[in-house]
A and B are shown apart, each in its own frame.
Chain A
Amino acid sequence: MMEDKYGMKIPEIPKEKFAFVQRSDEIHDEKLQTKAIGYLGDAWIRFRKNRSAVVAFVLIMILLLFALIVPVASHYTVAFRDGYYKMVLPRNSLFAGAGFWDGGKVEQQSEAGYLYLNSIGQETGKSAIMKVYDSFQDSTGATFYKVRTDSYNAVGYVFVNLSDSEYQNLKKYQDETGIQVMYPLQATMNKHFVRGNDGANFWYVLEDESQGTGGKPVLDENGGYIANYLTSDDPQKAGYDSLRIAGDGENGVYYTYAQKNQTGYRVRVHYEEYFNYVNGFYASFLFGTNVYGQDIFTCLAVGARFSLLLAISVATINFILGVIYGAIEGYYGGAVDMILERISDILADVPFMVVATLFQLHLAAKVGVVWSLLFAFVLTGWVGTAHRVRTQFYRFKGQEYVLAARTLGASDRRLIFKHIFPNSLGTIITGAVMTIPGVIFSESMLSYLHIINLDTSATLTSIGTMLSNGKDYLSTYPHILFFPAVFIAILEICFNLFGNGLRDAFNPSLRGAED
Chain B
Amino acid sequence: MTKYVIKRILLMFLTLFVITVMCFVLIKLLPLPAVREMGKDINLVLMRREKMGYNRPIMVQFFLYLKNIFTDWDWGVGEQMYEGLEIWDVMMQKLPYTVVVNLYSILISIPLGLGLGIYAALKKNKWQDTVISTMIMVFISVPSYVYAFLVQYIFCFKLNWFPLQLASLSQAGSLFSGKMFVSMVPAIMSLSFGVIAGFTRYTRAELSEVLTGDYMLLARTKGLTKAQAISRHAMRNAMVVILPMIFGEFIGILGGSMIIENIFGIPGIGNLYVNSINVRDYNFFMALNIFYTLIGLVSGIVIDISYGFIDPRIRMGSKK
Contact = CB atoms under 8 A, between A and B. Distances in A.
B259 A493 contact: no
A15 B157 CA distance: 100
Interface in A432-484: 437, 441, 444-445, 448-451, 467, 471, 474-475, 478, 481
Contact of A489 (B142, B164, B262, B296): B142
Interface in B255-295: 258-259, 262-263, 273-274, 277-278, 280, 285, 289, 292-293
Contacts of B227: none
A488 B143 contact: yes
A467 B145 contact: yes
A38 interface: no
Given A353-B292, A488-B146, A513 B205 contact: yes
Q: Which one of A349, A445, A496 has the highest number of Cβ atoms from chain B below 10 Å of its Cβ?
A: A349
B137 A493 contact: yes
Contacts of A445: 143, 145, 258-259
A474 B143 contact: no
Nearest to A445: B259
A496 B137 CA distance: 8
Nearest to B142: A489
A349 B15 contact: yes
A492 B141 contact: yes
B292 A492 contact: no
A94 B19 CA distance: 57
Main secondary structure of the interface of A (DSSP, over half): helix
A493 B26 contact: no
Contacts of B141: 437, 489, 492-493, 495-497
B292 A351 contact: yes
Interface string B129-142: 00000000110111
A471 B149 contact: yes
B85 interface: no
Contacts of A481: 149
Interface in A345-359: 345-346, 349-351, 353-354, 357-358
Interface in B168-201: 201
A514 interface: yes
Q: Which one of B18, B164, B293 has the highest number of Cβ atoms from chain A below 10 Å of its Cβ?
A: B18
A270 B145 CA distance: 40
B278 A349 contact: no
A317 B278 CA distance: 29
A351 B289 contact: yes
B145 A448 contact: yes
A358 B29 CA distance: 10
B145 A358 contact: no
A512 interface: yes
B297 interface: yes
A131 B146 CA distance: 33
A501 to B, nearest CB: 11
Interface residues of B, number: 45
A392 B292 CA distance: 31
Interface size class of A (residues with CB under 8 A): 35 or more
B277 A357 contact: yes
A339 interface: no
A475 B160 CA distance: 11
A512 B205 contact: yes
A358 B143 contact: no
A449 B262 contact: yes
B154 to A, nearest CB: 11
Contacts of A451: 274, 277-278
A300 to B, nearest CB: 14
Contacts of B208: 512
Contacts of A450: 274, 278
A351 B19 CA distance: 10
B300 interface: yes
A474 B146 contact: no
Interface string A55-91: 0000000000000000000000000000000000000
18 contacts: A349-B19, A351-B289, A361-B280, A437-B141, A441-B143, A445-B143, A445-B145, A467-B145, A467-B149, A474-B149, A474-B157, A492-B141, A492-B143, A495-B141, A496-B140, A497-B137, A513-B209, A514-B201
Interface of B: 11, 15, 18-19, 22-23, 26-27, 29-30, 137-138, 140-143, 145-146, 149-150, 152-153, 157, 164, 201-202, 205, 208-209, 258-259, 262-263, 273-274, 277-278, 280, 285, 289, 292-293, 296-297, 300
4 tightest Cβ-Cβ pairs between the two chains A and B:
A492-B141, A493-B141, A514-B205, A489-B142
Given A474-B157, A512-B205, A513-B209, 8 more contacts: A345-B11, A357-B285, A362-B26, A362-B29, A444-B145, A449-B262, A485-B149, A512-B208
